[in-house]
Structure 1
């Protein structure tokens, strides 16, 4: 069990590097408010379309999605495939390891 913790830390560190692609549009600091996209702190297990101060597409706001790791993985792979009609202009990250690392990083953003 203790051997898994360093692996998760490694993944989160790699995910922080992957997040640099996301940081163009998203912050991780709720005090800074939204950029082009909503802040992604505490996104894991949050209901989609609920960050105060950000105007979501009606498709995303009405989706009812809870951002579980699996749902985030699918969305980051191909946003338009998970929520057709969303406004996120991002083609996705096809590499499964990069998506897993990114999600590990997002899980560290609790506040």
Structure 2
């Protein structure tokens, strides 16, 4: 999970945080959540109406090529390396577990160096 957290910090935190919406929606609890449903985030119409639930398989497809998976979405980033995608998804799965969810202003998505 440590590698997944490092990859999340390197590749995802420019737009996403675990505990709040930024350029992208918050990702705390994303595994098992309906796509386009994070409270307070202005999703593209394409993602809001996609009818997806974020399983690990769906997240893998999404990270490989979001615009191919759901034409019309705004997310421009792809993670082409399969092991890296799986590590990021493993980290998101772990932080999606009820005992591990982040709340408030926690900085779990951005480790301090």
Flag structure 1 segments of 5+ consecutive residues without an equivalent.
1-11
Point out the structure with the larger helix share: 1
For normalisation by structure 2, the TM-score amounts to 0.82
Superposed CA RMSD = 0.8
Moved segments of 4+, more than 4 Å: none
Name which of 36, 56, 59 aligns with 1:69: 56
Alignment coverage as a number of residue pairs: 96
Q: Deviations over 1:19-52 (max 9, x none)?
A: 02101100011xxx21000000000011000011
Structure 1 position 28 matched with structure 2 position 21: no
TM value normalised by structure 1? 0.83
CA shift, 1:89, in A, is 2.0
Map Cα deviations across residues 43-89 of structure 1 (whole Å, 9 max, x no partner): 00110000111000000000001100000001001111111100112
Structure 2: 5+ residue stretches without partners: 102-113
